Structure formats: C-alpha cells, structure tokens
Amino acid sequence: MEDCCFSMEMDVRDYECDIQGIVNNGVYQNYLEHVRHEYLKDMGIDFADYARNGINLVVVRAELDYKLPLSSGDKFVVGLKMVRESKARFAFYQDIFRLSDNKPVMKAKIIGTALNERGRPSIPAELDALLASAPG
C-alpha cells in the first residue's frame, strides 16, 4: 500500500460471514465503498450533498481480485488511491490487507463518474480540483 493516499482500519463482524465462516464475497464491496465515502468526506466532498443537488457519483465498473478470505474478528486495513482515468471518469485503486500478518486480501479497481441532473457525465469543480491534485 505504499502508493495509497488514504487508509482506514476496520474489523470483520460476525454477521458478515457466510456458512463457511468467511466474509461473504459481496461484503467486500461494502468495505470498499465505505472507505471511498470516508475518503471523499475527508477531502471535503460531501457525497450526500452532491445527491441533494442533483449530482450523483456512480460506479460504472468494478474489478475485484480476491486473494485471501477474511474471517470473523479479523482486523484489516483498506488503502485507497484516486486517479483520473479520462475527462469524465476517475478510478479508485483499493487494496485490503489483513493486519495480523499483512497478507493481501483483495485488489480492486473501481471506476466512477459524476452524473449531472440530466444524467450526463459531468465532473463538479471541487471534484475536478481533487483529481487534478491527486498523486498518480
């Protein structure tokens, strides 16, 4: 995670595990989304305020590479790096590592865009400034 610009530690909760005793595959997307929202909030981008103003930040593609399962009680860290992919798209490169042994759990690339009130891709000024200043 040497390239990440934001990270957050989390814990696996019992109810996130399936019958096999490991985190259900879909739960990982919740982890990733939570960290993206926290990152944006930390950078001054209010996801909910955007939506109230007719601007919707949406995921258009998700690439998830599962490496190692997490189990109940595991502590882990999610790292994030945001980069501009094109004029209308941005990407979040995210990694999850188990803290007990620093083993990689997941690598993800989440591509998003912002849709204006007409449903057309349109990156708002403050998000555009964040992307311009993001290392990458």
Instruction: Using pLDDT thresholds of 50, 70 and 90, give the confidence band for residue 3.
Output: low
CB atoms within 10 A of CB 40: 20
Q: pLDDT tens digits, residue range 24-59?
A: 999 999 999 999 999 999 999 988 899 999 999 999
Is residue 18 part of the annotated active site? The answer reads yes
The average pLDDT across 80-108 equals 96
Tokens 């990407």 — which residue? Answer: 91
The one catalytic residue among 11, 18, 42, 46: 18
Does the structure show a pLDDT above 90 at 130?
A: no
Residue type, 125: A
What does the block give as tokens for 99? Answer: 């803290």
Percentage of the residues of the chain whose pLDDT score is greater than 90: 76
